A = this chain, B = another copy of it.
Amino acid sequence: MKKSILRSKIIQIFIKHKLSRKHSEICADYLIKAELVEAKSHGLTRLKMYCDRIKKKLINPRPNIKIKKISSSISYINADNSIGFVSSDIGVSQAIKNAKKTGIGLVAIKKSGHFGLSSFYAEQAVKKNLIVFCFTNAPPALAPYGARKSLFGTNPICFGAPTGKVPFILDTSTSIINRGKIRHAHKFGKKIPYGVALNKFGQITTNAKEALKGSQLPIANFKGSGLAWMVDILSGVLTGSSHGGKTKDPFDDFSGPQNVGHLFITIDPKIFIGKKYIKEIKKNIRLVKKLPKAKGFSSILYPGERKNKLYKKNLNRDISVPKKILTEMDELNVV
């Protein structure tokens, strides 16, 4: 489907679900961007879920998002149960403003929801020449080290830095694979790789449905478990949002709003070494790229380069929309 047509359709669907035009456009753009970087698990496959939650009054289509100024560097946002895209779009803008003013910005968001890919927010800060951390929590998916039941989300660690060229953007879940990929496999009847998830009895499974009911495995055992716990504290506890396994699964749990929390930290990379920063980061990347390559590698990519290539490749192409989602979209459009 032509991107412009798809965009109009999504906007129309969100407007039918009572979002303002502006908020509908924000949501459509983030969903389409996920498709363009081929992160399908964070794209159109979630559209119905967002609409379902609006219908059930678990997402507020007309949120009164309040920004509380704590200091010139620090802001606290009450998202009023908006779609995560909307509050985070506002949140990262505020974090950018704060760092531009003072060298460092810190923005916490409470009462939000799933915000898509962390990297999209990081990218905005990096394009304004800032270093950035984005943290968000997510519904239970990972068993803490020593437990046999899920509690942490796949809690990504997202970090961005300007390079003078394509943004350096690391966006890595603390699970071996991200939950969206398992959902995607489930939706389309595919298997998941061996060794990334357990069933509810604690046994390794390649069945996506069983994995969703069981738990995913963290990277590097207690290390990944610790990193996921760190993200739960930063985005859940610190922000006054849900934490400790209380973040509701947006697909399965309709007992209340998700109350997801996000935290953005922005740093002006020129505060310490001035304009030399760009020279040094370019040198850094050059030094890594010229290393002798491992077997099977013709080049070394930094985090963010692969997604950027996909984005450019797909930018002027039509977006392929699976039949199942086309049907969903038609149904959502007659609500």
A residues neighboring B (CB under 8 Å): 70-71, 73-74, 76, 102-104, 106, 108, 110, 131, 143-149, 151, 157, 159, 161, 168, 170, 172, 176, 202, 219-220, 222-224, 226-227, 229-230, 232-234, 236-240, 243-246, 265, 267, 269, 271-273, 276-277, 280-281, 283-284, 286-288, 291-295, 297, 299-303
Main secondary structure of the interface of A (DSSP, over half): mixed
Select from chain B the residue with minimum beta-carbon distance to A108: B272
With A148-B294, A238-B277, A284-B244 as contacts: A157 and B227 at CB distance below 8 Å? yes
Select from chain B the residue with minimum beta-carbon distance to A110: B272
The complex places the Cα of A106 from the Cα of B106 at a distance, in Å, of 11
The complex places the Cα of A265 from the Cα of B266 at a distance, in Å, of 11
Which residues in B have their C-beta under 8 angstroms from that of A246?
A: 287
Select from chain B the residue with minimum beta-carbon distance to A219: B220
The complex places the Cα of A282 from the Cα of B284 at a distance, in Å, of 41
The complex places the Cα of A74 from the Cα of B271 at a distance, in Å, of 9
With A223-B172, A240-B273 as contacts: A106 and B104 at CB distance below 8 Å? yes
Select from chain B the residue with minimum beta-carbon distance to A287: B244
The complex places the Cα of A246 from the Cα of B148 at a distance, in Å, of 43
Contacting pair A292 B147 (CB below 8 A): yes
Contacting pair B219 A294 (CB below 8 A): no
The complex places the Cα of A245 from the Cα of B283 at a distance, in Å, of 11
- 9 contacts across the A-B interface (CB closer than 8 A): A73-B102, A108-B272, A146-B300, A151-B287, A157-B227, A168-B229, A229-B288, A233-B284, A240-B276
Which residues in B have their C-beta under 8 angstroms from that of A157?
A: 227
Contacting pair A148 B244 (CB below 8 A): no
Contacting pair B104 A245 (CB below 8 A): no
Contacting pair B237 A146 (CB below 8 A): no
With A73-B73, A232-B284 as contacts: A226 and B103 at CB distance below 8 Å? no
The smallest beta-carbon distance between A248 and chain B, in angstroms, is: 15
Select from chain B the residue with minimum beta-carbon distance to A147: B291
The complex places the Cα of A245 from the Cα of B291 at a distance, in Å, of 10
Which residues in B have their C-beta under 8 angstroms from that of A271?
A: 70, 74, 76, 106
